[in-house]
Structure 1
Amino acid sequence: MTSKPLISVIVAVYNGSKTLQRCIDSVSDQTYPDKELIIIDGGSTDGTVDLLIANNDKITYWQSEPDNGIYNAWNKALNHAKGDWIYFLGSDDYLWKRSVFEETSSHLFKAESENIRLVYGQVARVTKNDDICCIEGDSWDYTRRGIVADGICTFTHQGMFHHRSLFETYGKFDESFRIAGDYELLIRAFKEGGAALFINGLIVAGMQTGGVTANCTKLVKETARARRNNQLRVITIPWLISYAWAICYPSLKSLIGDKNSRYLVNSGKCFVAVLSYKKNAILEHNNN
């Protein structure tokens, strides 16, 4: 691989005409030249296809046909991706600034030289009015523990660059999941260990609140199924607290609004994950 790796951006969309143009422009406006954009549409009827046709010069490959959800769409896109690194962006999300890929490229080169298959930065959760709710993304020790040991989603895929060899080694997304297929893939890839490179201080994308992951209860239930499928313990204290948060989230949202409830939920998740991380560190220290 050269110092300028090819980055494949994959977007799944269904009836996303209101936000897709911003997503496309955020990719095409990148100062980094070595990129491609692949968009898989699930058979939209709202004008999304017309938008894809109008942006044909900015898109390397696109198709529109009924599918079986976001992970089916992503798997289709992977068949067409030629990049050294694969990046998944939501159709209502966008790259944070024009230089994101340029700033990331040296880290991708470093990661491959060290046989690291996951590079990630931070993600800003934003409202429909682009107000920032919170910034997500932390060290790999913290993130991996949340994913594998605690059973909580301490990551956002909009901040992650996956080396293509990760899919060649561990397979594609499990399409039986509707929300937590990216979580299940990370368990599959890192449950036995492995390193990732965290780019501290780099906001990769703006992620609009809402979407499929807004169904918090279903998300927590799917994380439990992902853990069972990979022979990991499901019932952990952080997972139970996450379930409680998920049940309370709709009431919180109606009482204090989307922005404040998202901030509160994220703060609670981080607090639980940090406590678990510190507890584990103390136990490891005592055992040594």
Structure 2
Amino acid sequence: MVKKLDLGEVIMSGYYRLSIVIVTYNAEKHITKCLQSIVDYGGSNLQLILVDGGSTDETMARVGAFENHIDIMISEPDQGIYDAMNKALTLLKGTWVLFLGADDRLLPTFPSFVESFADKRSIYYGNCISDFEVLGGVFTKYKLAKRNPCHQAIAYPCIVFHKYKYDLKYKVFADYLLNMQCWGDGTFKKRYLPIEVSYYNMDGYSSYTHDEDFRRDKPRLVKQYLGVLVYLRYCLKKLRERNKIDSKFF
């Protein structure tokens, strides 16, 4: 039987190279594969935190088969994915942290990704694979203005979250805002490792949920965190795209 911990019961002790956070809600179809991939490829110097939003299906029953591998489990109602992630931020004891969805999986090359971590103020990121393509590559500030890197392939030093947390205003792209903040913050280095980190399910929550607040705010956020030059280049690109679309109708 899985013990559902109250945040107040958690005693902070010990340290790990990496914390992995999984957030779940009614994920009975996927959670077993996700957890098994962590058992298989996560390594031994690992803190595993699972935050469930109060699932009403068999999610927590299936999690129970892995309770010996999970350091902290919480199951209670929340305000969505990023609220669950913010809860986990207070529990981190790793030097770095990686966030996974319940429908994501670590890949066999994951150990070589973690073994490459050296600088405790560096954000390390690699590639994700989906059923259709490899997602990743080096992200400059301008590339970040155009699209978000795969969150499941980014290991943040936990000290990042001494400064930032996920903004609950954005239902789908709070992680995108976090990346803008991090790439615009010169106190953290960003290091790309050409390694396939995880499998990313492109049919997940972000594929069917809209985030109009982020869409509306994005130009302002690009300017605020990535700089005026990146903002101007981004605006020029969007203008060219609109002109190209308009030219098809005239």
Shift of 1:152: 2.3
Q: Is the 8 Å Cα contact of residues 14 and 43 (structure 1) preserved in structure 2?
A: yes
Q: CA deviation at 1:157?
A: 0.5
Using the aligned pairs only, state the percent identity.
25
Question: What secondary structure does 2:130 align onto?
Answer: strand
Deviations 1:249-287 (A, max 9, x none): xxxxxxxxxxxxxxxxxxxxxxxxxxxxxxxxxxxxxxx
Do the aligned partners of 2:169 and 2:213 also contact (CA within 8 Å) in 1? no
Q: From 140, 143, 160, give the equivalent of 2:154.
A: 160
Partner of 1:275: none
* Partner SS state of residue 184, structure 1: helix
Query: Could you say which residue in structure 1 is the equivalent of 2:214?
Result: 222
Secondary structure of the 1:158 match is helix
| 1:40 partnered with 2:54 | no
1:175-229 CA distance string (max 9 Å, x none): 11110001111112222545311111x110011121122147x357614424425
Q: Deviations over 1:143-170 (max 9, x none)?
A: x3222xxx322410011000011111x2
Structure 1 residue aligned with 2:175 = 182
Against the structure 1 CA distance between its residues 242 and 18, is the aligned structure 2 distance closer, same or farther, given a 3 Å change threshold? farther
CA distance in 2, matches of 1:134, 1:186: 22
**Greater Cα shift, 79-88 or 224-233:** 224-233
Alpha-carbon distance in structure 2 between the residues aligned to 1:242 and 1:152? 12
| Displacement of 1:104 | 1.9
Q: For residues 229 and 95 of structure 1, what CA distance do their matches in structure 2 show?
A: 31
What TM-score comes out, normalization by structure 1 length? 0.69
Structure 1 CA distance for aligned equivalents of residues 63 and 183 of structure 2: 36
Runs of 4+ residues over 6 Å off in structure 1 = 240-243
TM-score (ref. length: structure 2): 0.79
Residues 1:240 and 1:85: Cα distance change in structure 2 (over 3 Å): farther
Out of 111, 114, 125, which is 1:105 matched to? Answer: 114
Q: Please tell me whether residue 30 in structure 1 is matched to residue 41 in structure 2.
A: yes
Q: 1:152–1:223: 8 Å Cα contact kept in structure 2?
A: no
**Which secondary structure state, in structure 1, belongs to the residue aligned with residue 220 of structure 2?**
helix
Letter in 2 for 1:204: V
Aligned to 2:133: 134
Task: Figure out how many residues of one structure are paired with residues of the other and give that number.
Answer: 221
- Aligned match of 1:211 in 204, 207, 212? 204
Residue aligned with 1:7, SS: strand
Unaligned runs of 5+ in 2: 1-14, 225-230, 243-250
